[in-house]
Structure formats: C-alpha cells, structure tokens
Structure 1
Amino acid sequence: MKVYRIVLAVLIGLAMALAQPYLGTAMGDRVEQVKAIAQEITVLIPETDPQSGKTANGSGFLIAKEGNTYTVLTANHVVCRDQQPVCNQPRPGLKVVTHDGQEHSLDFNSVKKLPEVDLAILQFDSNRNYKLATLGNYDTNINSERDVRLPNGEVIREYGHFVFASGWPGINHPDITELKYRFNVGRLLPENKMVGFRIRPVAEGYQAVYTSITYPGMSGGPVLDTEGRVIAVHGQNEGQRVYNEVAQRRERVMIGYSLSIPIGKFLNLAPQVNIPLNHITVQTTIPRELNLEDQDVIGTEYVLNWLGDQNSGNQNSAIYWANQGNQYWRRLRLKEAVEAYDKAIEINPEFYPVWYGKGLVRTFEGKYKEALANYNQAISILDQQIAQLPPETERQEMKNSIVKLRDKIQPFVANSPTAPTTPTVTSPAPPTQSESTVQPSPPSPPPEPNISQPQPQPQAEPQPETQPGLLW
C-alpha cells in the first residue's frame, strides 16, 4: 500500500478529537468533532487513465464493515461514466484512499449501482480499523424555517438547517492547484424555498439542495448534519463553464446551488440490489435546535470557509464578480450578492450568467417582476449568442433551463412587489414572441410540502440594509 503524504496533515489532533463518543454540548466542540468525523469517514477515489495518463478523482464515505471488507457509498458517476444498471463504461485505474493516506485496491466487481439514482457502493479489504458513518434518516423539513430574535430585538427569518460538505476537490479543476481535503459549511434549504428556482430537474435522486461551496471531485462525499450524521450524498454543483477573455481560458461560473441525494433514497433502494443494511448504523432523531450562540459558532466557521474560498482573481473580470455574487447568494447575503452581480454587469452587460444569478436572488426575495426581467434579459443575450454559434448546444440547454424558471414564477408575478428599475444595458429588449420564447400558460404553483410543525410564512419584503443575524 502507498501512503499519500498530502493527507497526513489532517491527522493532527484527530485521535483526541475522536476519543469522545458523544458530541459535546458546546457548539464549538461540536463543529470540531463533526469535522473530525467527516475527515475520518471520507475517502478519496482517484482514477488514472493508463493510456492518456490523465488523472481525476471523486469522493465517498465508509458506511459498513463485515470482517475485513469495508463498504463505501459514493455517487455512481464517480466510478462509472454511464448510469446503466450494469456499468458499461467503468472509470479506469480506480483506487480508494482512506484518511490515513493508505491506498486500497478496488475490485470493480464489487461495484453495485442503485436503481434510479446516481448512487453506487464499492468495497475494499483492509485489516485496519476505520470509523464508519452514522446515517441520519429523518424529515429535514422539520424546524427548517423559524423566526429568530436577535440581541438588538430585531426578528429575522431563517431558512434551512446548517450542514457540512466533506470531500476532495480535484486538481484537474483550474482553480484547485493542490489536492486538499475540504470541509465546507452551508444550509440545507427547505423544499418550499426551492419553488421557482431549482434549475436542475429532480432526476437521479437529486432532491436535497444546499448552499455549501463545492467543487468537482467532491462528488460522492458525505453531507453531515450538526450531530455528525450523514444525511445526503453530494453529487452536483450548479454552474457552467464560460470563456474568460481576460484569462484566455474557459472557467467555471458557479451560479446556483449544490445538489445531493437524501440518504433515505439509499436506504429505501438498497434492498432492491441486495445491499444488506444490517451492518449500517441509522438514527432517525432530528438534530437539536440551535440557539444564537450555537449559530454564531457555526457562522464563524461559515465565514472562515468563505474567506478561504476567496482568491486573487482579476477584479476586472465579470466572471470574478459573478462568482463573488454566488458566494454571497449561497450565504443568503442577498444585498451584497446583487451588488456583486451589478459590478459584473458594469464590466460586461452581455454576460448572461449574472442576469440569471440576479433572477435567482430576486425570486428568493419574492420580487418576481424583477426576477422576470432578469431572466428575460439572460434569455435575450442567449438568443443572440445561439444565433451566432448555432452548432453549440450548451447555451441552448441553459436557455431552456432559464425559460423553465421564468415560467415557474409567472403565476406569482401579478401579486409581487413593484421591482426596482433594472440597470440599462446595451442588449436589445427580449425578442418578440417566437417559437423559442412563447410563454406557455402559467402553471399552478406547486403545493407547499407537508411538514409536521407548521411554520409562519416568510415575508416577501426586501432585506434590511444591515443583516447582523445573517452573516452566514
């Protein structure tokens, strides 16, 4: 076995942190213990193409042990290039690297894909004793919306549970120059906040939407709750690659959210492909509610993650400000997100991703008229680019997605607040009705999901200028 020196740094302090079987009541201790758990259960799954020499990687996590055989749960696309019941295009040269740097051979015959979803298990043998994940299977909608009174007396509306994404971003990503483990904080958003701005279809099981910043290579990694239990499997990150004329290369614009598959999907489908559950630990209790002090501690981690994600990119680039806006957006700093998007528009008013990003923010705020104008602007720009480059399919797919989002909010537009004026741009107005832009009859709004504890309805009013309780 080969030791990966790059992972040895994560071992410092793990033994002491993991010695306590119960997560302490102090939230600072809890975050550190969740991080320690995540580091120990998460595995790196590298691949090497023997013909081209190209390398890539995904992530996964340990869920069971029988004898000396360990079982890893991951995203199917980490181990296979297709989603067939039996893999026709296995990824070459796969291995499993555990947190201690040990490299384990993988028998591809052990890989089993779960039906209907982008999940798979694989196995390896080791006589070492590794920590296994505890799975959390409960209704994440419970307590997902709440009013919080700040010390200054202000009452704010909070959405979603804090969660933690764990994985290994791949060094084949242009912004990642070092193979380094990541542990990023975010919020798992409630289903009723997804109405009107989920760009990806709920296909292959991707139903859990959360705000952690994730990168290619983290697919298959665990999403943990504040008790250190795995509640979902990360698999997708909304975004698109566009050409940066300043850097003269294609770069990723991360406008949107991170997507994951709820662990309940795995538990429900595993018996269908004869995956035994008797060696897997599952808990069904919801996490305890967090007080303001708890949220401050997690929020500090949230902000530190954010600072760590910052880079010295060219601030004269629209892509730079688009990604800055998305970081604010994912942290629910809506005012700052729009300001960043507006800076991108000042640099390049024809950069459609920022108009789409603004549409998402305005949709979240309930400012549907302005969201409609933003989406239409993005569609107009895309129409021009599609006409100039008809063979390309990526822009047409993006346009189709934005059209769907625009159509989803149509039923809400009439009752939305009057929107501020959209900045003047050089693009022409959205085209007159044609086959590509005719709007179908507005669909009825999707029903609100049933949750066991009814919560007050969120306010559609604009966010205040200062948001002391929404620093993360």
Structure 2
Amino acid sequence: MNLYFIRVNYTILTTAVVATLVISLPTSAADTVSTQKIAQLAKNTSVQINVEGDLTPGGSGVIIAKEDNIYTVLTANHVVCDDLKRSEKIICATDTTYSIRTNTGKDYPVKDVKVLQKNKNDPDLAIATFVATEDYPIATLGNSDQMVEGADVFVGGFPAVFGKVGAARDFAFTTGLVVSRSSKAINGYGLIYDARTITGNSGGPVFDIAGRVVAIHGLADTSGKNKTETGAVVTQKTGFNAGIPINTFLATNEPIIKNTQFKEDSSPTDKPVNNLNNPQSARDFYARGITRLDQYNYREAAADFTQAIKLDPKYIEAYFKRGYSYTWVSKHQEALTDFNQVIVLDPNYLDAYLNRGWSQIFLQNDQAALEDFNRVIRLNPNYAAAYAHQGMAYIKLGKYQAALESSKQAIRLDSRNSYGYTIQADVFNNLKDYPAAIKVSTLAILIDPDDFSAYINRALAYTLIGDYQNALSDYQKSSEIFTRRYVKKSTSEAELKPQPKPTSNSSSDSNLELIKSWELIDVPCTSREKVVSIMIDDKKYCVLPHPSLTWKGYRYNRGTGKLEPLT
C-alpha cells in the first residue's frame, strides 16, 4: 500500500517558475488524478495574497476565472478584509494595500475586492481581481456535495512556516480525509477534514480526487478547550481544519457570481470512499476513527486508531489522533507516548509538540511542557497558538511577566483569535490586577462571544473585587456556552456507559452551582464510578473525571478562586 495515500503528507514546493502552465487533465475530469498531478495543478492555480510591506503572514487564494486580461481569485474574506469590528456588519479597513503573487513569482496589485461576507455570520468569502497579460491556468470547480466522510481532500496554499511571511512563503500541499459535514457551520465552514494547515493557508483551495476545487480553506484546527488548574484555557490541537464548500460560493446571490463564467464539473468520481462500516485496511480504520473523534466518541475512536497502527506501525496521523483521544479520557501517559512516537516519525510536526506539551502539563511536568512550546516557536516563530501555549506554561511556573509577553505576541500574530487575550486575563488575575483582567476578558468576548473561558476569567475577576452579581452572570453564561458546545455534542461518548445522575440536592446547595460553573458533573461520592474529590468549606464533593483534573483530590480556595491539589 502506498503510504503517500494513507497518512497526511506535508510537501513544500518552491515558488520557482513552472515550465508548463497548462495542466493536462484526463479526458473526463471525474476520473481520479494522481496526487502528483493534483499537487502541480494546485501549485499553478494557487496564489499568495500579501499585505504591502509583508506586515502580516499573508493568505492564499485560487484563480477561478478570467475575462480579457482580468483574473478572478476566490479567497477567504478575512484574508482581504481587516474587519473594524464596529457592528454586526462587516466593515473593512480602507488603509490596507494588497497584492497577488502567482506561481511564476510575479506580483500584481489587487484591482478590486468584492466582499461576499456582509454580516458576522455570513460565509467568510471574498473575490479579488488582478490584471495580467500573462496566461495563468484556471481551476475547475467541482461539486462539494459529493464530499462525504472518508473522501480524499488535497489542500494547497502558502503557510507561514520556518519564519517566512508574506512573499517569502513557499507553496505547500497537504493531503487528508473528510471528517464530517457540519450542518451548523461557523461562517460557512461546513467541510471538516484532517489535512494539516497553518497560518497563511487561509483562502487556499481544497481539491477532490479529480483535481476540482470543492472548498476554500480558512478555519484552522477545530479544537477542544481545556482548563488547567491555573484557570488558563487554551486550545489543544485536534488536527481538524475546515473549508467553505464551493457550492456555498456558487449559491451566493451576487451578480458578480451569476455573471462570471466558471469552469465547472459536477460529475461523480469513480473512486470509492473508505469503508467505514466494515473497515479492513489501516486507512479504513483511521477514516472511521476520525469521524468518531469528530463526534466526541473518544474511546471508540482510540480503538480504531489502534487497529490502524497495528496494520501500519508508521501511521503518523493515527498516533496523533489516538494521543488526542487519550487526553480526553484522562490517559495522559498514553497520550504522551503517542505524541513521542509522532515526533520520532516526523520531528517537524508542530502540533505534536503542542499536544505533548499539554500531556506534560497534565502530568505536572510544567518545565518540560514549556520546552515543547519553545520548540514549536523555534520551528515556526509566526505560530500564534504556540505563544498562547507558552504563556500558559509560564503561568503554571509562576513567571507572570514572561506569560504576559507571550500573550502579547499571540495577539500580535493573530488578533482575530481570543486565546491571546485569555492568557493575558489569567496573568492579570494572578497579578491581582482585576480591572485589567476584566478589560481583556471583555475584548476576548467581543472577538469570540462563545469563548466560555473568557467568561470564567472575567467572573473570577468580578468575584475577587466583590461584584458578585456580574460574576454570577458570567459563570452562568460560561456554563451555558460549554453545555451547548460540548456537553450536548458528547452524546456518543455518554452512550459508551451509563452516566451517574447528578446529586439530587443541587438546587439547595450553592457549592454545587459553583461546581457546575466549572463544567464538571457532580456525582455521589458513593458512586462506583471513578471520581475526583473536591473539598469546599470542609465539605466533600465528588465529580466525574475531566482532562483538566490531574489529581485525585482538590481543595477550593475562595481567596484565589482556584482548585488546589491535595497532596
């Protein structure tokens, strides 16, 4: 079996001039195309989108049409629109100059930008045009409805890796599988896949096995959020990413789309998708495992990844996904072992270091965690999430000023994500600068109204300044968000075994409401289930295990608002 097809591969292609600009596809575009041909097609139709002066990492796009000497590029709106965030409507800054660099290495000023995302919840899409007398190939648009779980995907773009930003970025091509189709997609990102991507890939094309564009990439790594004992919440990397299905773009009610002639081919491919119902190969087990992982079914997902590894002991992504699954069922040593194996097989796998760092945190090896996060930053100084993780490790080590600097760097590199502000708020709470913690938590909530961790940090600050009404409101909001986004989605995991019912006196015990605000499930201490004990005001409570609880028992310190391990 060709290993190129059974695990995600990350191939860097330089931006050297390609001798032949016209790619010859098979007679029927629905025929499967070799991975090498899709890579070449992706390289020739993908473009860089850069900001004047390379002040940002930059984004990607794909050429989808040409009329006379005007080329049309489809990309993610956030690549060509610096939203001023003044209202629910998208209002782009007007002082930013963009340019497009093609596969030949030639730069063109952007002629026009058509923002397709009008409001905050609309699909994150935009069109940019440039004028060129040279001939560039045009990508064919496929039918994204054909992309079912287990189907192959290929992602092209220009990631900001190894310290390269803007025009210095190289083209990268990654492969993967469709994980799921989201019915309630964030900003249109309804196609979930496991191909590796990173900052700079946003706006790049996602191809099917026939070499047709079926989505626009732009949502990096759908992640689960974990809360450590410090209260800091950052994202652990799942390896999942998302694109906006091309059918969403084609259905957009805009004259420019209706009046533009695209190359389209919606005929079905002749390659069957992976066998999810009766897996036989390592690829089949892995494909079923990632669909179960996406459904929060961690134990069954881990079992599938184990089968994939038995059939292919060098299956990097199976180790990575199994390690992630183990984390959520509190098997932190097993997770650490898996991430170690990923790094042995691929020493440049950035997210393996991030997740290994999380395993070290859970195992109380804070210095080792910091070293892993530092390693990621050395490999890619532009990786905003790595600085957020670094800040969390510094908080664990009591190095608050260093954590503050890490959070500032995370915000500078990715101001659209709330995690930098989350770390910063936790630093301010530890420094007893509660007004500052409230301020940055509020900023995080403005960026991501569903960031439950921001509400927790702000609630803690309100509590410690005696504003209990606002604190209670934030704790309740945090609990509501967490339940909606995580608990209700986790029904498949709950079906693995009967879950104990919450204690019956929850309505009369305010401490149980406090436990609920931590997103923990209280159970009787006489339960036969494995439980974690929490002492609050000399009264013992028990909760079900959670990835953030790495000790068997804790005491709640009302003065600091934190759980302290009982040693």
TM above 0.5, yes or no, is yes
Change (3 A) 1:328 1:260: farther
Change (3 A) 1:336 1:31: same
Change (3 A) 1:86 1:437: closer
Q: Helix, strand or coil for the counterpart of 2:141?
A: strand
Q: Distance in 2 between matches of 1:114 and 1:406?
A: 27
Structure 2 residue aligned with 1:422: none
Alpha-carbon offset, residue 186 of structure 1:
1.1
Give matches, 1:275-294, under 5 Å.
275-290=257-272
Pair 1:88-2:108 in alignment: no
Q: Distance in 2 between matches of 1:74 and 1:37?
A: 17
- Unaligned ranges ≥5, structure 1: 1-5, 145-158, 196-200, 243-250, 293-297, 303-326, 355-380, 420-430, 441-472
Pair 1:404-2:387 in alignment: no
Alpha-carbon offset, residue 26 of structure 1:
9.8
Q: Helix, strand or coil for the counterpart of 2:484?
A: helix
Q: Distance in 2 between matches of 1:328 and 1:418?
A: 33
Structure 2 residue aligned with 1:100: 104
Structure 1 residue aligned with 2:178: 188
- Unaligned ranges ≥5, structure 2: 1-11, 226-233, 275-281, 287-313, 327-333, 338-355, 370-395, 397-421, 454-477, 500-510, 522-567
Q: Distance in 2 between matches of 1:335 and 1:241?
A: 15
Amino acid across the alignment from 1:235: G
Change (3 A) 1:48 1:56: farther
Q: Distance in 2 between matches of 1:328 and 1:405?
A: 31
Kept after mapping to 1: 8 A contact 2:142/2:264: yes
Change (3 A) 1:414 1:19: closer
Pair 1:79-2:69 in alignment: no
Q: CA RMSD in A?
A: 4.7
Highest relative contact order (Cα 8 Å, sep 6+), 1 or 2? Answer: 1
Structure 2 residue aligned with 1:443: none
Kept after mapping to 2: 8 A contact 1:257/1:330: no
Kept after mapping to 1: 8 A contact 2:15/2:103: no
Change (3 A) 1:398 1:222: farther
Q: Helix, strand or coil for the counterpart of 2:185?
A: coil
Q: Helix, strand or coil for the counterpart of 2:34?
A: helix
Kept after mapping to 2: 8 A contact 1:169/1:176: no
Q: Helix, strand or coil for the counterpart of 2:244?
A: strand
Pair 1:161-2:121 in alignment: no
Give matches, 1:52-451, under 5 Å.
54-82=55-83, 87-90=91-94, 92-108=96-112, 110-115=113-118, 116-140=122-146, 144=148, 159-170=149-160, 179-191=169-181, 202-238=185-221, 254-269=237-252, 271-290=253-272, 334-337=321-324, 338=326, 339-341=334-336, 344=357, 347-349=360-362, 388=430, 390-391=437-438, 392-393=440-441, 397=451, 399=453, 400=478, 402-409=482-489, 411-412=491-492, 414-417=494-497, 432-434=512-514, 436-437=517-518
Alpha-carbon offset, residue 139 of structure 1:
2.0
Q: Distance in 2 between matches of 1:203 and 1:285?
A: 28
Change (3 A) 1:161 1:402: farther
Match of 1:34 among 20, 35, 38: 38
Larger Rg computed on CA atoms: 2
Q: Percent identity?
A: 24
Kept after mapping to 2: 8 A contact 1:74/1:220: yes
Change (3 A) 1:171 1:439: closer
Alpha-carbon offset, residue 406 of structure 1:
3.3
Q: Distance in 2 between matches of 1:129 and 1:204?
A: 33
Kept after mapping to 1: 8 A contact 2:153/2:176: yes
Q: 1:255-275 CA distances to partner (integer Å, 9 max, x unpaired)? A: 352111000111000x43433
Q: Helix, strand or coil for the counterpart of 2:197?
A: coil
Q: 1:321-362 CA distances to partner (integer Å, 9 max, x unpaired)? A: xxxxxx9896586435433357645522179xx9xxxxxxxx
| Count of residues in Structure 1 that have an aligned counterpart in Structure 2 | 330
Q: Helix, strand or coil for the counterpart of 1:283?
A: coil
Q: Distance in 2 between matches of 1:177 and 1:417?
A: 53
Alpha-carbon offset, residue 211 of structure 1:
0.7
